[in-house]
Structure 1
């Protein structure tokens, strides 16, 4: 039986509400096992292992489950979210789904501000957890409209793009970085040479970068960025105002501007990955791993392959770890639909041959990728 929240708004009962909210969040974690770390064999490569942290097994099906929980903890402990507070987020993707889940867990109203062209499937996922979608005409308006709504209803704009890097406990507490290192402890190479991730808010790359420095580990962090994203140029040119003219074609990662949570100083390398390569990679991965993964996982995989190829050229042994960000079941009408792929003008076959060829022969052609390092 669920413990009821206290009804009174006195200071004492506000603390009682906070205590009960934190108990529910902690209980939710206790009900969930840690996500698996999978080893993906590369038959042609000796002495270097590739691991995939499968974040698709969270209750809401994606890496953003961790972020949403951290954002709620941060907002509650700061006193920004209290009993009855309407929580508002600017997101039409996995973050909104995960935040709707936690809002429902805490009996809080939730509104996702989304572009009007958001797919019905995504809206249905948000609404499944009791969330409501508020439409805007242009994607560029979602943050300003979320802020306006929060002010109008005395609610709280969660603002993932600002708070992601500071809400996550990067020192440990079973965060994603600590979890990977714990799971690698009995492997032939327990300390990875590289950890590869994408950047949507920048919170995950900040967690990895800070954690390895805090633990004095030699592991380096690489962000694999889709082609239509400002993060790569911001990193390469040390330009926090870098921007691109169109949105990312790979859902969940890449942004038209450099977001406040993106911390380039804790990143060692970035690799810009063409969208055709990202989509091709998930087609190859489905065959090699036996499951479908989202497009951002494909971006990560291409970045990991490029780094492994570099280690081979240098004659090094070791391992690389990256992330399965979400399941490909959400993308059967897009990335895994050949008509959709053709309509977007992506030629994935040459990249499929390259990526599959790397697994079979160990030979890698990285033409088309762009890399920058600090």
Structure 2
């Protein structure tokens, strides 16, 4: 098979997969204590691979193929904390390509099993800061291609065009009481999604503001405040999928209107509270997003403002049964979440946060 024929077939398979996948749901939360402020979750857990990263993996494969970096004999290597690797393993299997995920040993067992389910291999390292060099080494050794989501996430997605997550949110909001959100809240993993949202808001000349929420043990917020791109830390984020030990190339601070830190215990408490509202579990990055959205909604209410706030449900909590839904892990890693549950209950009952 010649290279052009393979490229045509590969892109056709990816586009056909996209056409088979319906758009994700926009879920409105019923919170009487926030009267006049509507809060929504864009539920990305309904993608075929169960997370927001399905969009990114699709874009990265198309970008790499169209740039001539991937052909029918290419081994795909990616550095990931789990969800991107799950989605990339899915697309690699779709195209018949070998896939290796380079991940920290702390990655949840459920994610590792999902990667293996799609035919991928998991190459584990001790610390998240080691994933970059090890991915580059493997790509060179195997004559493969390192996808490098942390560099290419913001480049691979067409933030002006149709079918990106920003366009989807604003289309789905058209029939709502406050169709143009006052705020969209997002946490950074690569920074690619917040870049897409912020650029789209500006390009469409919308009044929506973008708030980015960072977990503990991440340098993104410190970089946002200081402008020091050389910042690093020697700890890994406890919130899988978001927070980084270095400033990633895809993180674009200029599109962000506000940034704040969400304590990890608050994020974990939020997903346990959310389960009582939705009747199902969400992952910890969703807890970070939603806690930030609740803070903003509370501040809006205190100022007698009305409007809508949109954030993302990034993936299902079923991937985190051994961590974020395990009382022993919670006690050892983040401590007592009851004070945060109390604060959330006060907010949604109208007392305030």
Matches within 5 A, 1:136-175: 136-175=125-164
C-alpha distance in 1, partners of 2:278/2:322? 20
Do the aligned partners of 1:84 and 1:107 also contact (CA within 8 Å) in 2?
no
Q: Distance in 1 between matches of 2:55 and 2:331?
A: 34
Give unpaired runs (5+ residues) of structure 1. 1-6, 8-12, 366-374
Distance in 1 between the 2:147 and 2:334 partners?
A: 36
Instruction: Give distance in 2, aligned partners of 1:302 and 1:283.
Output: 12
202-211 vs 43-52, which moves further: 43-52
1:276-287 equivalent positions in 2, closer than 5 A = 276-287=265-276
Using a 3 Å threshold, how does the CA distance of structure 1 residues 121 and 45 change in structure 2: closer, same or farther?
closer
1:9-158 map, 5 Å: 13-158=2-147
Q: Is the 8 A contact 1:56 1:63 kept in 2?
A: yes
Whether the aligned pair in 1 keeps the contact of 2:34 and 2:298 (CA below 8 Å) is no
Q: Is the 8 A contact 2:127 2:236 kept in 1?
A: no
Q: Aligned-residue CA RMSD in angstroms? A: 1.2
Question: Under a length normalisation based on structure 1, what TM-score does the superposition of the two structures give?
Answer: 0.92
Equivalence map 1:130-279=2 (5 Å)? 130-279=119-268
**Which residue number corresponds to residue 350 of structure 1?**
339
Matching of residue 289 in structure 1 with residue 278 in structure 2: yes
Query: How far off its partner does 1:47 sit?
Result: 1.2
Instruction: Choose 156-165 or 140-149, whichever is displaced more.
Output: 140-149
Query: Number of residues paired by the alignment?
Result: 353
Secondary structure at the residue paired with 2:309?
strand
C-alpha distance in 2 between matches for 1:66 and 1:169? 11
Give the C-alpha shift of residue 54 in structure 1: 0.2
Alpha-carbon shift at residue 364 of structure 1 (Å)? 2.6
Q: What is the SS of the residue equivalent to 1:88?
A: strand
Aligned to 1:315, which of 301, 304, 320?
A: 304
The partner residue of 2:352 within 347, 351, 364 is 364
Based on CA coordinates, which of the two structures has the bigger radius of gyration? 1
Residue 368 of structure 1 corresponds to none
Which stretch has the larger CA shift, 66-75 or 343-352? 343-352
Conservation of the 8 A alpha-carbon contact between 1:275 and 1:346: no
Match of 2:324 among 329, 335, 351: 335
Q: Structure 1 52/116 Cα, relative in aligned 2: closer, same or farther at 3 Å?
A: closer
Which residue in 2 is equivalent to 1:301?
290
Give the superposition deviation at 1:119.
4.1
* Cα distance, 1:338 vs structure 2: 1.4
Q: Is the 8 A contact 1:92 1:123 kept in 2?
A: no
Deviation at 1:117, TM superposition (A): 4.7
What is the deviation of 1:46? 1.6
Q: CA deviation at 1:316?
A: 1.2
Mapped to 2, the partners of 1:334 and 1:157 lie a distance apart of 29
Secondary structure at the counterpart of residue 349 of structure 2: helix
Q: Is the alpha carbon distance of 1:39 and 1:14 closer, same or farther for their aligned partners in structure 2, counting shifts above 3 Å?
A: same
Q: What are the ranges of 5 or more consecutive residues in structure 2 without an aligned counterpart?
A: none
Q: Is the partner of 1:124 in helix, strand or coil?
A: helix
